[in-house]
């Protein structure tokens, strides 16, 4: 396999914010298929995209290897919605499809990460205080953290670390925050500063003893 010293970003291509990661980390970009939208759902098979997703993973698992990998699967424009107001199509789009995308992406990261390397999953998650009407997103974030922890366990023997960064930067209800207010006035933080900073920290060799951790880059909102 060909080897590279640049980091790799694995992400869905229909989220413009992910370009910030490639720019700031000077990362190569491995584009996943676009996340499906509600209107695209098929009544015959609501996971109609699964075969294409599996083919994407199988094709890319044998590619170029990296010592540092970042994975980010983000919706284009997330909005809050109560569970009881969600149609099954909403649920598919907001919860089930992202979990499938994350599973394929982290599986690919597992295969592409060199021994003694590091992988960071960056997932959107509101703090518990702000979690109302973000049920699908919280479910996805917890699932991603568990996938990352599972990989930390299975890949630790070859020195590969898996950690997770969470960010509420795009998905908090900023106009009606429950008291107490976040300790840092920089809440909810930005992708450019707080999120990239946490990612760099966990990718760095100085974090060699950290694996299976979840770092909430939320300016203290969830402490």
Partner 1 sequence: MGVPVIIVTGASGGVGRGIALACAKVGWTVWIAARREQEGSAVVKEIDQLGGQGRFVFCDSGDQASVQNAVDEVIAQDGGLHGVVHNATSGLSPQPTVLSEISMDDLQNHVAVSLRGSYLLAKAAYQHLCKTQGSLVLLTSEAGFEGKARLPAYAAVKAGQRGLARSLAREWGNNKVRVNAVAPLASTPAMERAFELDSAMEQRVMARNPLSYLGDSVEDIGSAVRFLLSEDSRYITGHTLMVDGGSCPVT
Task: Verify cis geometry, omega within 30 degrees of 0, for the bond prior to 158.
Answer: no
Residue 200's H or E segment, with its range, is helix 196-203
Shortest Å, Cβ 93 to partner 1: 12
Q: What values do phi and psi take at 50, rounded to 5? A: -65, -35
CB closer to partner 1 out of 168 and 196: 168
DSSP 8-state code for residue 37: P
Instruction: Report if residue 38 touches partner 1, rule: CB under 8 A.
Output: no
Site for partner 1 in 15-34 (CB under 8 A): none
DSSP string for 93-131: IIIIHHHHHHHHHHHHHHHHEEEEEEEEEEEE---GGG-
Instruction: Report if residue 115 touches partner 1, rule: CB under 8 A.
Output: no
Instruction: Report if residue 210 touches partner 1, rule: CB under 8 A.
Output: no
Residue 65's H or E segment, with its range, is strand 65-72
Chosen residue from 47, 65, 78, 177 binding partner 1 by CB under 8 A: 47
Stretch that binds partner 1, among 12-20, 52-60, 67-75, 166-174 (CB under 8 A): 52-60
Task: Give contact residues for partner 1 (rule: CB under 8 A).
Answer: 47, 50-51, 53-54, 57, 61, 82-84, 86, 88, 91, 95-96, 99-100, 103-104, 106-108, 110-111, 128, 131-135, 138-154, 212
């Amino acid at each position: 396999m060909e080897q590279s010293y640049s980091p790799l970003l694995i992400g869905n291509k229909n989220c413009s914010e992910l370009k910030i990661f490639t720019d700031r980390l000077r990362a190569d970009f491995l584009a996943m298929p676009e996340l499906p939208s509600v209107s695209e759902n098929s009544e015959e098979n609501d996971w109609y995209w699964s075969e294409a997703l599996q083919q994407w993973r199988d094709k890319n698992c044998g590619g170029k290897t990296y010592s540092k990998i970042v994975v980010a699967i983000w919706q284009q424009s997330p909005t809050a919605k109560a569970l009881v107001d969600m149609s099954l199509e909403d649920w598919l789009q907001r919860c089930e499809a992202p979990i499938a995308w994350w599973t394929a992406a982290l599986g690919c990261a597992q295969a592409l990460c060199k021994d003694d390397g590091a992988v960071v999953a960056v997932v959107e998650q509101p703090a518990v205080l702000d979690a109302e009407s973000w049920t699908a997103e919280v479910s996805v974030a917890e699932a991603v953290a568990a996938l990352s922890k599972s990989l930390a366990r299975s890949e630790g023997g070859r020195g590969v670390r898996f950690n997770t960064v969470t960010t509420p930067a795009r998905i908090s209800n900023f106009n009606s925050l429950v008291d107490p207010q976040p300790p840092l006035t920089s809440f909810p933080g930005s992708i450019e500063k707080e999120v990239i900073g946490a990612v760099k920290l966990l990718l760095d060799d100085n974090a060699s003893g950290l694996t299976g951790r979840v770092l909430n880059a939320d300016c203290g909102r969830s402490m």
